Amino acid sequence: MSLQERAKFGSKIGVILATAGSAVGLGNVWRFPYMTGENGGAAFIICYVFCIVVLGLPCMISEFVIGRNARSNTARAYHKLGGRSPWMVIGYLGVLTGFLITGYYAVVSGWCLQYIYASVSGCLHGNPQFIRDYFVSFETDPLKPILCTIIILAITHMIISRGVKRGIEKASKMMMPTLFVLLLFIVIMSCMLPGAGRGISFLLKPDFDKMNSDVLLGALGQSFYSLSIGMGCLCTYASYFSKETNLAGSAVKIGVIDSLVAILAGLMIFPAAFSVGVEPDSGPSLIFITLPNVFHQAFSSVPAVGDAVAVMFYALLSLAALTSLISLHEVSTAFLSEELKISRSRGALIVTVLCTAVGVFCSLSIGGYEGLQLFGRSLFDVFDFVTGQVFLPVVGFLTCIFVGWFLPGQLVRDEFTNYGTLKGSFYRLYIFSVKIVCPVCIVLIFLHQFGVI
């Protein structure tokens, strides 16, 4: 596809909502709250916002620079700008990372669909042990999770097949505002519960005694994963930006939306949890095991309201998951359609089929099929570990080195300032962060998660 023929987002709001949708996902609504609960509440949030500014935004802008300048899929973008040097491997690794994440992320996304049905049908009424047993029974079922995975990938496929403007941008313009409306409504309901003030205080009143190196490094990791850095999504979406798009300004807006959703997710969950006496450090089980019981108890006097809140909550989760799945799917779709010179719809079909296969095996691997394990872990856990704890930090680190030390400085400055049409007041701070601060922070994250520091 030539430069003139390449698709573009049709509006500024489309750019922001689509790219923010890429960043906003289960990492904001699921991972952020339990990370906050385990790391001291407001103290973690302060560290997180600091890390978004110091690490997240420079890395995001760097992917924007590469994507818009190369005007191609992630793999070809690094090949174009890096020539036949080893740097081109970064692009292929980014595509592989996005593809693998699409497969296993669709499994968890499918769980959200199941919980919408469970909330509507009243299957989540019972004591905490009943709700735990319900989740375990569903997770280990050989068919139900697979069906949910296929449905969520089919929805993603339909959107991707319609193209950038009519598919991705149009869907984002509908889904992101809906996500915010649902989120705000549940936040209001949660904050009105008796005893909710303790949860609000936990989330917004910092206890600086809880700030330590573990909290800071945990916040660094969360900021990195929350913004979809290193997955190829941002680079691919940037290839659809117009030359008038303000890269730094867009990154700031997306970072603000992403952080706002994460904090609102905390305001949605913790006031309700404190209201019924649930500990804030319930961990990864918070969404599928702890919260159904929270909704049931919090609105026990009016069960219908509790059911309605649960339905809205899991609809919110499904929307967040879907916006991220769309961007992840697009990475592989753009790669196949451009590299194999096939139609977009055919490329999307191939990706959907392959990701469905990955999702099926990942789902079965946590459903008790021991043959689908590697190194004593389920395929789901292996893919999660390899992509999240190895590939993402490596791609992020190499991208910063590539932009900061390898690309011509004038090329980076031109993209940052839209070829002189913008002031670029923070360019020096940005390039310093990309050259020094970001690589050091990413190395610290990488070493910390393996227990080296």
DSSP reduced 3-state for 249:
helix
Alpha-helical runs (H) found in 299-373: 303-339, 344-365
Is residue 25 in some structural domain? yes
Q: Give, in order, the Cα–Cα distances in Å from 58 to each of 13, 55, 236, 245.
A: 21, 6, 17, 16
Is residue 6 in some structural domain? no
Enclosing domain of residue 140: 12-449
Is residue 187 in some structural domain? yes
Is residue 1 in some structural domain? no
Q: Which two tokens stand for residue 45?
A: 């949030």
Report the candidate in 115, 103, 167, 170 with the shortest Cα–Cα distance to residue 139.
115
Is residue 5 in some structural domain? no
User: How many CA atoms are closer than 13 Å to the CA of 21, on its beta-carbon side?
Assistant: 31
In the block, which residue shows the tokens 């969950």? 269
pLDDT of residue 285: 63
301: Cβ contacts below 8 Å, ≥ 6 apart: none
CATH number, residue 20: 1.10.4160.10
pLDDT of residue 2: 42
Q: Phi and psi (nearest 5°) for 184?
A: -65, -40
Percentage of the chain lying above the pLDDT 70 cut: 96
CB atoms within 10 A of CB 311: 18
Model pTM?
0.90
Asked whether the beta carbons of 79 and 91 are under 8 A apart, the reply is yes
Residue 269 has pLDDT above 90, yes or no: no
Is residue 48 in some structural domain? yes
Between 11 and 402, the higher pLDDT residue: 402
* Number of domains making up the chain: 1
| Cα(288)–Cα(5) distance, integer angstroms | 45
The segment with the largest mean pLDDT, out of 22-26, 115-119, 387-391, is 115-119
| Cα(210)–Cα(40) distance, integer angstroms | 6
Q: What is the mean pLDDT of the chain?
A: 86
CB atoms within 10 A of CB 190: 25
Report the candidate in 75, 139, 145, 138 with the shortest Cα–Cα distance to residue 332.
75
Between 371 and 398, the higher pLDDT residue: 398
Residue 354 has pLDDT above 90, yes or no: yes
| DSSP type of residue 54 | I
Using alpha carbons only, give the angle 206, 212, 213 rounded to the nearest 5 degrees: 135
Range of weakest confidence among 101-115, 323-337, 350-364, 380-394: 380-394
Q: Give, in order, the Cα–Cα distances in Å from 356 to each of 15, 104, 106, 361, 393.
A: 28, 9, 8, 9, 26
Q: Phi and psi (nearest 5°) for 238?
A: -65, -25
Is residue 4 in some structural domain? no
Is residue 7 in some structural domain? no
Residue 271 has pLDDT above 80, yes or no: yes
